[in-house]
Amino acid sequence: MPSTTAIITATYLLALSTGLAADPTGKSGLSFRQPQVDLASTKAGSAAPAVTPAADLSAKRDMEDLGEKRQTLQGEVRYAKAKLEAAQKQFALQTAAGDLEKAEHLDQEVKDWQARYTAAKAQLDEVDKQFSDVSQGHTVTAEEVVVPGENLEVFVNEDPSFNGIYQVRRGGYIIMPQVGRISVAGKSLSSAEAAVKRALQSSQLHNASVMIERKQGADIENGPLIYLSGEFHAPGQWHIPSGITPTLVNVILSAGGVTDKADLTRVRVMRIAANKSVVEEVNVDKILQGGGLTSDITLGEGDVITIPAGPSNLVYVTGNVSAPGGFPLKQGERISAYAAILQRGGFARFADQKRVYVLRALPDGTKAKLPVDISAIKKGQRPDVQLQTNDILVVPEKWFSW
């Protein structure tokens, strides 16, 4: 008979040969060894082993970094392109006018902007390629991170005017009116919420509670957008039709026009360049009145048009008059200071007719004080002052000396 030692040795060797090992604790007998290679990876035609959590996190961070770079370069490309087109237009105008000195200067400016545009476009193409490579090698599904092309519904508790559906653009960002581009591609929904919150709190709100949900459905219209705010009949998003290069006047008319309060002399167009807003003010009213369509500007995806409200067309008379208050001026109507006082019932008791003055708003936000000696005007010694909308006519009280 074999010895006890021989039997134990044979049993141990058998366990090793079958992938088993004795449990040294003696509590659970025999235990299986962990395989060194995933069994699923041994199947024919199977994919490479799953990405480790650390590598997956690194890929997420790479996508976020590249998304931010794309956003910056996209703004630089758009800005350089707009400046290039503007310089080309001016060059053509000066050349046609025969001003060779200015044309030569503008020719160099065109070359400079062309070089800047070409360099920024090359950098953007390189970042696009890197983003594509990282995205293809990234194992996180679309349900986990935000990707270009999908639509996000944003809710802001403190200000519902920011609520809406925003499409993630090719550059990996969404565009919110009054805020600009916000990079969200490659981020989880919670990270995207944090990015929108930071953007709102940095420029619009003291505190922002943001919630983002994915928006599914065929009812969402896709395509490049321009954003309309202010005195539009239909403010919001305006989709750029395929094959069309929009201009400022074209968009205003196509979007349904503006309200009666609109001030078309101070229309503002905001673009984003290098994460900073670039605002250009355009006198659309002059263009519409035949002031030269060459001054119309070309718009692009993501631009924001803001039309402010115009003046209230009121003139105010205050101080020592019988009926202080304001009254409207009709389009083209003119009224003098003395006539405005008479319209408000004339002078009250103790009015100082020699020290009347007009407060008039200046373009820089300050007010000018214009003296008006009504006594001299009544005697024909001085011309009356013609009032403008929003002027304030002040009639002071006399100072008595006993």
CATH classification of the domain holding 206: 3.30.1950.10
Judgement on whether residues 305 and 231 belong to the same structural domain of the protein: yes
Backbone angles phi, psi at 201, to 5 degrees: -75, -20
Judgement on whether residues 68 and 83 belong to the same structural domain of the protein: yes
Mean pLDDT along residues 269-290? 77
| Residue 39 domain-assigned (yes or no) | no
* Rounded Cα gap, residues 367 and 221, in angstroms: 48
The yes-or-no verdict on residue 336 having pLDDT over 90 is: yes
From residue 259, give the alpha-carbon distance in Å to each of 8, 121, 309, 320, 329. Answer: 97, 39, 9, 37, 19
* Rounded Cα gap, residues 167 and 225, in angstroms: 9
Q: Which of 114, 137, 160 is the last residue of a domain?
A: 137
Q: Which of 264, 279, 310 is the last residue of a domain?
A: 310
Nearest residue to 168 via CA among 190, 146, 188: 146
Nearest residue to 240 via CA among 154, 148, 169, 160: 169
Judgement on whether residues 328 and 387 belong to the same structural domain of the protein: yes
Lowest mean pLDDT among 26-30, 48-52, 150-154, 348-352: 26-30
Judgement on whether residues 306 and 227 belong to the same structural domain of the protein: yes
pTM attached to this predicted model: 0.34
The pLDDT tens digits for 127-139 are: 777 766 666 655 4
- Cβ atoms of 210 and 196 closer than 8 Å: yes
Q: Distance between terminal CA atoms of the chain?
A: 146
Judgement on whether residues 104 and 180 belong to the same structural domain of the protein: no
From residue 277, give the alpha-carbon distance in Å to each of 161, 178, 268, 298. Answer: 20, 10, 12, 17
Count: domains in the chain: 5
| Residue 47 domain-assigned (yes or no) | no
* Rounded Cα gap, residues 118 and 113, in angstroms: 8
Residue given tokens 């979007």 in the structure block:
255
Mean pLDDT along residues 1-30? 44
Percent of the residues in the chain that have a pLDDT greater than 90, as a whole number: 16
Helix crossing, 100-137 with 53-97: angle to 10°? 160
Per-residue confidence (pLDDT) for residue 396, from 0 to 100: 92
Bridge partner residues of 237 (DSSP): 227
The pLDDT tens digits for 85-138 are: 888 878 777 777 777 778 888 888 888 888 888 888 888 788 777 766 666 655
Mean pLDDT along residues 365-370? 83
Q: Which two tokens stand for residue 122?
A: 């090359």
| Residue 124 domain-assigned (yes or no) | yes
Out of 56-65, 253-262, 350-359, give the one with best mean pLDDT: 350-359
Backbone angles phi, psi at 353, to 5 degrees: -70, -15
SS3 annotation, the chain: CCCHHHHHHHHHHHHHHCCEEECCCCCCCEEECCCCCCHHHHCCCCCCCCCCHHHHHHHHHHHHHHHHHHHHHHHHHHHHHHHHHHHHHHHHHHHHHCCHHHHHHHHHHHHHHHHHHHHHHHHHHHHHHHHHHHHHHCCCCCCCCCCCCCEEEEEECCCHHHCEEEECCCCCEEEECCCEEEECCCCCHHHHHHHHHHHHHHHCCCCCCEEEEEECCCCCCCCCEEEEEECECCCEEEECCCCCCCEHHHHHHHCCCECCCECHHHEEEEEEECCEEEEEEECHHHHHCCCCHHHCCECCCCCEEEECECCCCEEEEEECECCCEEEECCCCCCCEHHHHHHHCCCECCCECCCCEEEEEECCCCCEEEEEECHHHHHCCCCCCCECCCCCEEEECECCCCC
Lowest mean pLDDT among 159-163, 207-211, 242-246, 313-317: 242-246
Judgement on whether residues 390 and 318 belong to the same structural domain of the protein: yes
Backbone angles phi, psi at 13, to 5 degrees: -65, -40
The pLDDT tens digits for 39-88 are: 333 344 444 444 455 555 566 666 666 666 776 777 687 788 888 888 88
Question: Residue 147 — pLDDT band, cuts 50, 70, 90?
Answer: confident
Higher-confidence residue of 171 and 342: namely 342
Supply the range of the domain harboring residue 154: 141-219
Q: Which two tokens stand for residue 388?
A: 């403008």
Judgement on whether residues 243 and 295 belong to the same structural domain of the protein: yes
Q: Which of 84, 119, 137 is the last residue of a domain?
A: 137
The pLDDT tens digits for 211-255 are: 998 876 534 455 678 888 888 888 888 888 777 788 898 898 888
* Rounded Cα gap, residues 253 and 225, in angstroms: 16
Per-residue confidence (pLDDT) for residue 220, from 0 to 100: 46
Question: Residue 173 — pLDDT band, cuts 50, 70, 90?
Answer: confident
Higher-confidence residue of 371 and 331: namely 371
Q: Cβ contacts of residue 123 below 8 Å, gap of 6+? A: 73
Judgement on whether residues 58 and 125 belong to the same structural domain of the protein: yes
Question: Residue 333 — pLDDT band, cuts 50, 70, 90?
Answer: confident
pLDDT mean across residues, the chain: 76
Judgement on whether residues 326 and 283 belong to the same structural domain of the protein: no
CATH classification at residue 264? 3.10.560.10
- Cβ atoms of 344 and 217 closer than 8 Å: no
Judgement on whether residues 337 and 272 belong to the same structural domain of the protein: no
Higher-confidence residue of 293 and 377: namely 377
* Rounded Cα gap, residues 204 and 271, in angstroms: 17
Judgement on whether residues 109 and 176 belong to the same structural domain of the protein: no
